[in-house]
Amino acid sequence: MTRFLRSDKGFALTYIYLLAAILSVIMTAFFWTAFAEVRTSENILNVNQAFYLAESAVDHMIYNLNNGLTGTLSGTTADGSYSASYSNGQITATGTARFNRVRTVYATVEQECTFVPRGAFCAGNGFGTGLLARFVFDGRDHNASGALTGDAGEFGVSSRESQIFAPGALTKIGGHGHAPKAFWQYSSGIDYETDTEWTTPVTPESVMGLEAGDLDQYKTTTKPPANFRGVYYLNNPQWDIVDFGTAVGADGITGSYGILIVENDSFWSSFLGSYRGNFTGVLVSDTFLTITNDLQIIGNVSATGPFCGLGGADSYFLYSDGVVQDVLTQYLGGKAVRYTVTKWTDSAQY
């Protein structure tokens, strides 16, 4: 009997040892599984944090580019470090988080102009032309020489009012790939548009998508000379005629080239609104009343005052997207040109 009891005790002890071994294996497996899951979660967390660091580096580089800074940048935070460089339209940004987890982002960027006119001639309020002179508003896209580029372009005339008043038999308007035609033939929504919305208040800065004060450095009461190059902001000028000139410059452009702004604190005080000659660029004027001798403007005219009535001599207004972007880029730089991201790719290193 004792022998059988000892045999049962031995079997029970063996069973306990076996059960303990099995439980030990299970617990060990559970521990390592839990540990692996924690490590994986931590890995993912750190790699994601590295992405956020790289993303912040892209934002930092965009800010620098928009302020004229193109050099490599780097920095550190409580979560890790980042760096970014720019070359040939691409930002390469790297973020490094804990345990040397790295994420590299490649961002393709493009320059966009803050000012994209809706037509060759944009009127903030009433718009009308005289009966006798020839006025041509051509919204098709032109180059700086006045030749068509082949692009459809914009409207010939864009007005904030509900209608345009252009009864002259010699007035022609065309846009969006359509050649200018007489007033009984041109079409709303194609050659011209009405009821457009302008930013209020309408200022030269708001028209061109700039910040208040961005143009203050160019303010003057002295009118520009003929065949000028550059930026002139005539603030409360005396009544006078701006002669853009007709001479061909060393750059091959006829007359003046650049940006001309005319603004008066009081519309009915002394103001300037008479033009002649050839101008290639952007003209923002609160009054646009008379034209003496022939006038040709390639680029854009934006009249912001309470009334825009054109009269006097033959005038040609030719829209040019390239001219608008070129003069703003050349003379206003980062104020008028913004870098924006168009696409992303990234590489995660676990």
**Whole-angstrom distance, CA of residue 131 vs CA of residue 274:** 18
Residue 332 φ then ψ, to 5°: -110, -15
User: How many whole angstroms separate alpha carbon 253 and alpha carbon 180?
Assistant: 24
Rounded-to-integer distance, Cα 85 and Cα 189, Å: 44
User: What pLDDT is attached to residue 15?
Assistant: 65
With H, G, I as helix, E, B as strand and everything else as coil, classify residue 139: coil
- Whether 314 and 290 have beta carbons less than 8 Å apart is answered as no
Q: Which residues of the chain have pLDDT under 70?
A: 1-13, 15, 17-21, 23, 25-44, 125-133, 162-168, 198-201, 237-239, 265-273, 287-292, 306-312, 348-350
The pLDDT value given to residue 50: 86
* Residue 270: per-residue pLDDT: 41
Residue 142: count other Cβ atoms within 10 Å of its Cβ: 23
pLDDT at position 13: 67
**Cβ contact 97:111 at 8 Å:** no
Residue 21's CB is within 10 A of a number of other CB atoms, namely 10
Looking at the chain, list the stretches that DSSP marks H as alpha helix, in order from N- to C-terminal side: 2-65, 204-207, 321-332
Q: How many CB atoms lie within 10 A of CB 162?
A: 7
Is residue 123 within 8 Å of 161, Cβ to Cβ?
A: yes
